[in-house]
Structure 1
């Protein structure tokens, strides 16, 4: 510090800074104050203070010009005032630094801790993949069930066809048995006719022999008479009798041959029919036995297939139901946890907003106190103030987690189920 009567000048630039931190913007506003003094002959004094705290704010003081008779006392007075002002500025800087540290620490402590949604999304993606896998497995099981049903329908159709054929064969067997009975009756009737014909032939032979005996006796009697009456020779009568005998024997032989031939033809026809009927009956019986065996085999296979399909479907349905129930419970628990986290995040945001408003009020109070200190230092009564900038509302981001569950129901039963988790972010100012 120097003193001179001719000319004395003193200048000093000081730049204290005041900073503040907001919740949504981490920018830093600088404050600057500059003070310059100049003294000369004639003595003039001027002081200017400018400040920028989160907005343009200026404080301007203009001194009055005057002359002093004692330059030394005036300079001493100015130096004392400058020293006091610098002390107060240092004090305010220290207070500002302490407040900045407190604000930083408070903001660090009050900043809401973000949740690790990536791991949750990874888990949700894994769950979605598992659900898709289970859906594909369920579709495969449904396809196997449909194939089993189609196979069962084919077996049932074959069984019905075989049953119809078996019934047809049984009807044919009944008809063949009836035909056999008819043929047996015909054979019995033919045998009765044969017996009656044999009896008739026996009676005819007997009658023929009796007639022949009678004729012989009559011829013998007539021969005696002829010999007596007409005197006919014996050789002629024997010739006549031989001719008659040969004629009657030819007629009898012819009738006998015709009867035997007719009987043989009828007997051969009946025997052929009976043989054919027996062969057809045996073939039908063998075919019926084979059909019955094949039908029993089909029934056993159908029953075993029904048991396998029923057991497999019940087991798969139970396992699928348990897996879907556990997955739904786990997803519901995760959704509840996410909703709780979202509610906690909203509470933290509300609390942070309240803290921000409190810090903003503290900042405004500090600005007012600093302005008051400066007015007191400079001793000015007229102060031109610029209103503070409008308060900037923080941006509020809202994240919504939407879970869409799709169920496919057939006959009142859930056969397919899928879920999707979507995140929607909204920004409100």
Structure 2
């Protein structure tokens, strides 16, 4: 009789295989056989393994037979047990057959002579080789199975880790709905800031255009004033030339007047000297004229007439020269007055133009400063807007990358879980195959 048992405790399948014996009561001779001890255990959270001792008894153990005399009749007994067990996640199976043999009644011992004859065992010499090969094959399969069990243990640990991550990710799904509103609020705030910056930029661009238009107008006015100043400077140069010519003419005329005055004075002195000489000659000369006519010659009257004529001629010449010089002098004075007025007006215009140029230069400088400030403000607003948009895009890219990474991690975990399930099914199939092999070997 034989007995096979299997027990499972706390997720660990413990299986012990005891020896098997057969007792023949009622015969004078008895035979007993014992199978090799085989034992092992499977268990790590329901995952089994075979120890090195199980190599000797996995489905292919051979019974060894011993022949001898039986003990005294009242002391003969026999029991046997053989069993196997598998455990995975707390599951197992086993069978138990047989029990302790009952004590037989005392019977007379008879000797079978045929049993005393030598046995003729015709053993095949290849049986040991086949047994050794089967034993080595069983060892190889057992080692492979042990490696599979280790892999299953590792995969089970990874599966637990993945289950923990999966539960963590399932818990994060409740917070997933809160992320998009926060992101939308952040994006909405950034959009509002961007719109405000766009409005400010439009306002600044309008101010810049107005400043540029004012600058162009001031430039045009400045160019007009510069052209007018150039014309006025040309006119001033021409007036200066006319004034120089006038002063030269005035100097020439004054020189001529002085020369004419000197000439008139010389003529007057010369005329007076000649008159004086004539008077002296007349006074010193004693003329005795005897005429046969009785008329007297009035030399004093003639001399007076001649003197009067010369004086009249000199007076008229002096008056004409004086009148001509006075007219000429008045004309030159009037021309000088007009030129002086024109020069004064020109100087006034030049002063006004200079003041206008200075004022326009100040306006141009202030416009340039305002333009620089507006350009700096526009550039700063553009930089702030670009920085804000860049930060928003960077945050959005980070969130998308985190989302993609989470999806990829979830996909990888699902794939690994599927691989674990496939390995689990394959191991279950191999366990069933080993069980069938063990049952077949036990039945043999």
Q: Specify the alignment match of 2:68 in structure 1.
A: none
Q: Partners in 2 of 1:196 and 1:146 — Cα distance?
A: 73
Is 2:329 the counterpart of 1:267? yes
Q: Specify the alignment match of 1:191 in structure 2.
A: 254
Is 2:187 the counterpart of 1:127? no
Shift in CA distance, 356/127, structure 1 to aligned 2, threshold 3 Å? farther
Shift in CA distance, 141/232, structure 1 to aligned 2, threshold 3 Å? farther
Q: Partners in 1 of 2:218 and 2:390 — Cα distance?
A: 40
Is 2:204 the counterpart of 1:141? yes
Q: Give the Å deviation of 1:269.
A: 1.1
Is 2:215 the counterpart of 1:152? yes
Shift in CA distance, 205/233, structure 1 to aligned 2, threshold 3 Å? farther
Does the residue aligned with 1:158 lie in a helix, a strand or coil? helix
Q: Give the Å deviation of 1:259.
A: 0.6
Q: Identify which of 228, 233, 239 aligns with 1:170.
A: 233
Q: Identify which of 300, 313, 331 aligns with 1:238.
A: 300
Q: Partners in 2 of 1:232 and 1:291 — Cα distance?
A: 93
> Conserved in 2, the CA contact under 8 Å of 1:166 and 1:291?
yes
Q: Partners in 1 of 2:288 and 2:346 — Cα distance?
A: 76
Q: Partners in 2 of 1:253 and 1:230 — Cα distance?
A: 41
Tell me the TM-score normalised to structure 1 length: 0.51
Q: Give the Å deviation of 1:127.
A: 2.7
Shift in CA distance, 207/229, structure 1 to aligned 2, threshold 3 Å? farther
Q: Partners in 2 of 1:160 and 1:234 — Cα distance?
A: 95
Q: Specify the alignment match of 1:211 in structure 2.
A: 274
> Conserved in 1, the CA contact under 8 Å of 2:187 and 2:392?
no
Q: Residue by residue, what CA displacement relative to the aligned partner does 1:241-260 show, whole Å, maximum 9, x if unpaired?
A: 33322222221121111111
Tell me the TM-score normalised to structure 2 length: 0.50
Q: Specify the alignment match of 1:324 in structure 2.
A: 386
> Conserved in 2, the CA contact under 8 Å of 1:226 and 1:232?
no
Q: Partners in 1 of 2:187 and 2:337 — Cα distance?
A: 83
Q: Partners in 1 of 2:417 and 2:384 — Cα distance?
A: 49
Shift in CA distance, 358/185, structure 1 to aligned 2, threshold 3 Å? same
Q: Give the Å deviation of 1:197.
A: 0.3
Q: Partners in 1 of 2:392 and 2:258 — Cα distance?
A: 100
Q: Give the Å deviation of 1:136.
A: 3.0
Q: Partners in 1 of 2:261 and 2:292 — Cα distance?
A: 44
Deviates more, 1:179-188 or 1:132-141: 132-141
Q: Partners in 2 of 1:160 and 1:315 — Cα distance?
A: 30
Q: Residue by residue, what CA displacement relative to the aligned partner does 1:181-208 show, whole Å, maximum 9, x if unpaired?
A: 2222211111111111011101111222
Q: Specify the alignment match of 1:113 in structure 2.
A: 173
Q: Partners in 2 of 1:355 and 1:240 — Cα distance?
A: 167
Q: Give the Å deviation of 1:339.
A: 2.8
Task: Between the two structures, name the one with larger relative contact order (CA 8 Å, sep ≥ 6).
Answer: 1
Q: Residue by residue, what CA displacement relative to the aligned partner does 1:367-421 show, whole Å, maximum 9, x if unpaired?
A: xxxxxxxxxxxxxxxxxxxxxxxxxxxxxxxxxxxxxxxxxxxxxxxxxxxxxxx
Unmatched 5+ stretches in structure 2: 1-162, 425-444
Q: Specify the alignment match of 1:251 in structure 2.
A: 313
Q: Partners in 2 of 1:230 and 1:186 — Cα distance?
A: 65
Unmatched 5+ stretches in structure 1: 1-104, 363-429
> Conserved in 2, the CA contact under 8 Å of 1:183 and 1:274?
yes
Alpha-carbon RMSD across the aligned residues, in angstroms, is 3.5
Aligned residues: 257
Deviates more, 1:294-303 or 1:227-236: 227-236
